[in-house]
Amino acid sequence: MTGLQRFTPLQRALHWLMAVLILSMLFIGVGMVSTITPKYLPLIATHMTLGVAILILALIRLGVRRRYGAPSLPADLPVPMQLAAKSSHYLLYGLMIVMPLLGLTMLSAADYPVVLLGGVRLPRILPPSERLHTLLWGAHHYLAFLFFAVILLHVSAALFHALIRRDGVFAAMSPLPARERN
Amino acid sequence: MTPPLLKPGRAALGSLALIAVVVAIAAGAFAYTAGWLSPRRLTPTRLVAAFAPPGGPALGRRRNHVRGVCFTGTFEANGAGTALSRAPMLARGQYPVVGRFNVGTANPDDPDGEVRVRGMGLQITAPGGELWRAAMINPPFFAVATPQAFHELLRASHAKAPDAMAAFTARHPEFAAFGAWAKSAPWTGSYAEEPYNSLDSFVFTNRSGERRVVRWSLRPAAHPVPVPHDALLQRPPDFLEQEIAQRIKGGPLRWTMVVTVAAPGDPTADPSQAWPEDRRAVEVGTLVVEQIQDERDGPCRDINYDPAVLPAGVATSDDPFPAARSSAYRASYDLRTGEEKDYPRTTAEAGR
């Protein structure tokens, strides 16, 4: 490993920025599909715009992770928790990338133009197809709930490390500057 | 590291409780946002469900305006529209269209002769790929003033209580004007003889950035021939589709697209109120319908004629309907595209 004690400031900034964006995204998503008020249209446009932003940031983040690595998990962390930590992070990274792609391809398959905030129009990336749309729509819909569930798990685990184990795992990604070592 | 005054067990318990509270609040906020805690919220799912005829919706089909026939043709813009909007398909030229004539009912078993409202879905494609979609109907104004009132209307019209409609009309007096139109307006025997009106208002913005609130209409070139309603009831249940398929053999069918500009103070947010007759009206082009195709394998089948799919230079206004329709049409689209087996295509290559 790289011997990092904490994630680099760039990694922490990306993490917390994306935390805000992704949570907003999930709330906007379930909110917009449950309303017929005039809010619906700006919510859809915001959802699509955030989706593209999250996709780009996730790819940048993967690159940064490759470059700088991550601090090691505490050596005394039980093996099941190590496995849970690793697999949930693969899942989170996967969803960050897959969800926007599903959303964009789903819209293309439905022959829907993708118009972002500011009037930016994205090109179509798939031919229209009922069957493809159904598949992609279903995946986008159900994975959104999985995404939220994994985030709840992630938050619980972070707080568990911060409040109960106090093993430095939370401090490694904490948005606050490093406190004195204890 | 444990605070000295607390036993480790109790501190951990408190922390666990704190974690549980955080998760519960987050999950609760999510459920609230999704509408799971608000059984009375008018969601697109509930609005779409309210259309269903007593026997349930026609699976695989649109949840309203369920029966229709596709057409293809051209929109010939005369260029006059560029004074109002920078939409690329209003610049002088010819643009391909895919549309759909339809009857305004959610029940596929309603014969054409019984359905008062006739509609047209229209998609105009600009050379750069920008789309303008519209779903228009033949009444001169809409039945009610708000999407919520429309939901109430659907509920009242399906209600078993004998006084449900009377109670609805009392709450929504604007519906009386629609009732009067339905009773007195002449019926015709053809999709080709009907006007198709946006009813909703939209905002046009031209190259100089001037914004105007407008509505538009497609006015038929064919002269409307009134037919007694009783005579239409004697015709085959799909006589409108048969008639238009026959009629097109005699040559293309035309409509003039007229854009009407609101004056200050006109009710732009309420499609149940027509604007005065003397408003500025600009003829922006001609819709030429050249071919008719069966919907089942036709090019309009997979198009969601969502009125919020608009080119640059056209946007929604303070009219609440386009957003409500966009949301409900999408719910209908998501449902029906997952039910292809209930409305199978007849040719292998059509089924992608």
Measured CA distances, B268 to B7, B219, B264, B283, B341 (Å)? 68, 21, 9, 20, 42
Inform me whether the C-beta atom of residue B159 falls under 8 Å from chain A C-beta atoms.
no
Q: Which residues of B touch A136 (CB under 8 A)?
A: none
For residues B347 and B121, which has the higher predicted lDDT (pLDDT)? B121
Question: Closest to A134 (Cβ–Cβ): which among B16, B27, B337?
Answer: B337
Contact B19 A30 (CB under 8 A): no
pLDDT in tens, A22-80: 999 999 999 999 999 999 999 999 999 999 999 999 999 999 999 999 999 999 999 99
Q: Which two tokens stand for residue B241?
A: 């589709």
The residue type found at B48 is: V
Whether the predicted pLDDT of B4 surpasses 60 = no
Indicate the pLDDT class of residue A5, thresholds 50, 70 and 90.
Answer: confident
E-state strands within B238-278: 253-261
Does domain B67-139+185-326 fall into CATH 2.40.180.10? yes
Do residues A150 and A96 touch, judged by C-beta distance below 8 A?
no
Whether the predicted pLDDT of B207 surpasses 80 = yes
Measured CA distances, A33 to A107, A168, B102, B137 (Å)? 14, 40, 26, 26
Q: Which residues of A touch B18 (CB under 8 A)?
A: 159, 163
Inform me whether the C-beta atom of residue A130 falls under 8 Å from chain B C-beta atoms.
yes
Q: Which residues of B touch A110 (CB under 8 A)?
A: 302, 304, 333, 337
**DSSP 8-state symbol, B344:** -
pLDDT in tens, B87-113: 999 999 999 999 999 999 999 999 999
The residue type found at B279 is: R
Do residues B57 and B51 touch, judged by C-beta distance below 8 A?
yes
CB neighbours of residue B187 within 10 Å: 19
| Gap between the Cα atoms of B292 and A101, Å rounded | 36
Interface test with B, best of A130, A136, A179 (most B CBs within 10 A): A130
Residue B134 has a pLDDT of 98
Do residues B65 and B137 touch, judged by C-beta distance below 8 A?
no
**DSSP 8-state symbol, A76:** T
3-state secondary structure of B234: coil
Residue ranges per structural domain of chain A: 9-167
Q: Which of residues 3-22 of B touch A (CB under 8 A)?
A: 12, 15-16, 18-19, 22
Query: Which residue pairs from A173-176 have beta carbons closer than 8 angstroms and sit at least 24 positions apart in sequence?
Result: A173/A6, A173/A7, A173/A11, A173/A12, A173/A15, A174/A6, A174/A12, A175/A12, A175/A16
Section B308-328 average pLDDT: 98
| Gap between the Cα atoms of B157 and B152, Å rounded | 8
Whether the predicted pLDDT of B2 surpasses 70 = no
Residue B351 has a pLDDT of 44
Contact A27 B16 (CB under 8 A): no
CA nearest neighbour of B117 among B56, B50, B45, B197:
B197
Whether the predicted pLDDT of B165 surpasses 90 = yes
3-state secondary structure of B19: helix
pLDDT in tens, B11-61: 889 999 999 999 999 999 999 999 999 999 999 999 999 999 989 999 999
ipTM: 0.93
Question: Closest to A110 (Cβ–Cβ): which among B12, B29, B304?
Answer: B304
